[in-house]
Structure 1
Amino acid sequence: MNLLVMGAAGGTGAHLVAQALAAGHHVTALARHPERITTRHERLRVLRADALDRATIDAALPGHTAVLSALGATTRARTEVYSQGTANLRRSMTAAGVRRLVCLSSGALDPGTGTPPAQRLVTRLIIQPLHRHAYADMRRMEDDLATADHLDWTVVRAPMLTDGPHTGTYRYTHDEDHPLDKPTKISRADLADFVLDHLDDQAVFRSRVAISY
C-alpha cells in the first residue's frame, strides 16, 4: 500500500513508519519537525506538514491508499490537534478520493465495565482532570468521525502506552457491549502492529476499537 503517516516523528508514529516499511509498504511520513525522523529508506518520503495547516496535507495526500494518524498533544494546554487536525485530514482525503483512515485515541475517555473499580476511580479523579483538554478534543474528534459515512475510519482507543517490545500479542474488541476485561497497557510498537495488521479488516471499519495486553 501507499501509506501516509501523520505525526510520524512521535513515538507511535515512528513505529508505524518502521513497521510499514518492514511490511513492504510505501510510506509518506508527515511531521512538523521532519528532521526528527532519522529513518532512511527507498520507499520512504519525509515531508514537513502541520495537521492544522490543510494546505500542507493537500499537497502530500493524493495517491495514497490509507491515512494513519498518530497525532498527539505535547502539552496539557487547550488543543485542537485531534479535532481540527483530523477534520483537515478528512477534507483532504475526500478531495483526493482516499477512504481509509485510522486515528488514535485514549481508553481513558470512557473506561468500560471491564476496568477494575479502583482504576476507574483513578481515571475519573486524576487522569481525566489532568488531561482534560486533550481528552475533550479527542472526544470532539471521535464525535466528528462518527458522522463521516464517506470514510472507512477506525478509532483505536489505547490504554497507557509504553516503550516495551513488539510482541504482536494483545487483546482488542470493537464490540462496545462487551468491553475488554482489565485493560492495562500496551507498547507503542504493538499499537502500531494492530493498526497495520487491520488496515483491510472491514470488521473494524467505522468503529472504536479498545486494545490492551
Structure 2
Amino acid sequence: MRITVFGATGGVGGEVVRQALEAGHEVTAVVRDPAALKAGGERLEVARADLAGAEALLARSGTEWTAVRPPRLTDGPLTGTYRRVTGGNPRAGRSLSRADTAHAMLGAVEDPGTVRQGVGVAY
C-alpha cells in the first residue's frame, strides 16, 4: 500500500513512517524540512510542503484519506491496546502514546470503513 504521512518529522509522523516501512509499505513523507527526517530507504519518497489546513484540503479532494485524532500524546511504548471511534472520539480518552497512535493510523488506513473519516483514538 502507498501511504502519505503529513508531519513525518514529528514524534507520531516519524513513528508512522518507521512502522509503515517495516511493514513493507511505500511511504511519501510530507515535511517542512527534509533534513529533519530520520527514516530512509528505497520505499520512501520525501515531499516538502507546509502542512497548515491539510485535513480541510484533503476533505475537499477526491482522494481517499483518513484523519486519526489522538488526545494528549505520550512517549509510552507500543501496546496495540487502545480504543478507536470512527466519526468521533473515545469517551474519557485522555492520552495515547505516539507509538500506539502510529499503530492506530496504520490500522485505520487498512480499514475501508475509515475512508474519508476522522477517527478518534485513546486509551
- Shift of the alpha carbon at 1:87? 4.2
Distance in 2, matches of 1:29 and 1:2, equals 11
> Which residue is equivalent to 2:29?
29
> Which residue is equivalent to 2:43?
43
TM-score (norm 2): 0.83
Higher strand proportion? 2
- Shift of the alpha carbon at 1:90? 5.5
CA distance 1:181–1:37, change in 2 (3 Å): same
Distance in 2, matches of 1:36 and 1:7, equals 11
Distance in 2, matches of 1:43 and 1:175, equals 31
> Which residue is equivalent to 2:73?
161
Question: Secondary structure at the residue paired with 1:198?
Answer: helix
- Uncovered stretches (5+) of structure 2, i.e. residues with no partner: none
> Which residue is equivalent to 1:17?
17
> Which residue is equivalent to 1:100?
64
Distance in 1, matches of 2:6 and 2:105, equals 13
Alignment: residue pair count: 123
How big is each residue's C-alpha offset from its partner over 1:180-213, in whole Å with a ceiling of 9 and x where there is no partner? 3421210111111111112131222343322111
How big is each residue's C-alpha offset from its partner over 1:129-170, in whole Å with a ceiling of 9 and x where there is no partner? xxxxxxxxxxxxxxxxxxxxxxxxxxx231111111111111
CA distance 1:86–1:207, change in 2 (3 Å): closer
How big is each residue's C-alpha offset from its partner over 1:91-118, in whole Å with a ceiling of 9 and x where there is no partner? 6x54xxxx22122xxxxxxxxxxxxxxx
CA distance 1:89–1:169, change in 2 (3 Å): same
2:109 alignment partner AA: L
Distance in 2, matches of 1:211 and 1:14, equals 18
Matched, 1:209 2:106: no
- Uncovered stretches (5+) of structure 1, i.e. residues with no partner: 52-70, 72-80, 104-155
CA distance 1:46–1:205, change in 2 (3 Å): closer
Matched, 1:186 2:57: no
Pair member with larger Rg:
1
Distance in 2, matches of 1:16 and 1:175, equals 21
2:22 alignment partner AA: A
Distance in 2, matches of 1:38 and 1:208, equals 27
